Amino acid sequence: MPDYKNNMKEKLAKILMQPSSMMREPTLGMDANQLDMVEPEYINRVQNPDRYPFITNKDGTRSTHRMAAEKDENGNWFVFPTIVQLPDGQLHEFNDNIEAMRFNIKSGNYKKMPNKETALKYAEGKYKKGTPLAPYKRSYGDN
């Protein structure tokens, strides 16, 4: 039987080794400010959760992206999913928020926030407002 963890680590390493432009075809030629204005991929998954795969948690709930907030080495705050859909369609759940942040920044699947308070509120559930996920409360098995 194939070793899932090692195979996934290899896939992630290959993705992270690609130049950012290969991962973000629709945004080729954009500068950092323009890039921050592009909707990240996870937004469509939040707005249309029935169209995407999910992870079944131990308690029976389903998670599609599970949000986190972190700051980078320059003090910039970002929000991003810790469950990501890889190019082959598989979901990968990061256990380390910093690793998830690096991956999502590289792939453009993040939002930059103005400060810690805004980032934490968004990651804790504000992103669900006005979406099919709005009725669901945040828990470990959160969407």
**Structure-token pair, residue 24:** 């973000």
| Alpha-carbon distance values, 107 to 27, 80, 85, 104, 129 (Å) | 11, 11, 11, 5, 24
**Structure-token pair, residue 80:** 């991003």
Tell me whether residue 135 is in a domain. no
Distance CA 81, CA 83 (A): 5
- Per residue in 77-117, pLDDT (tens digit) is 999 999 998 888 889 999 999 999 999 998 889 999 999 99
Name the residue with higher pLDDT: 65 or 77: 77
Domains contained in the chain, number:
1
Domain that holds residue 60: 4-20+38-128
Within 18-70, where are the H helices?
A: 20-23, 32-37, 41-47
Tell me whether residue 84 is in a domain. yes
- Per residue in 22-54, pLDDT (tens digit) is 344 444 445 555 555 567 887 777 777 788 888
Distance CA 34, CA 39 (A): 11
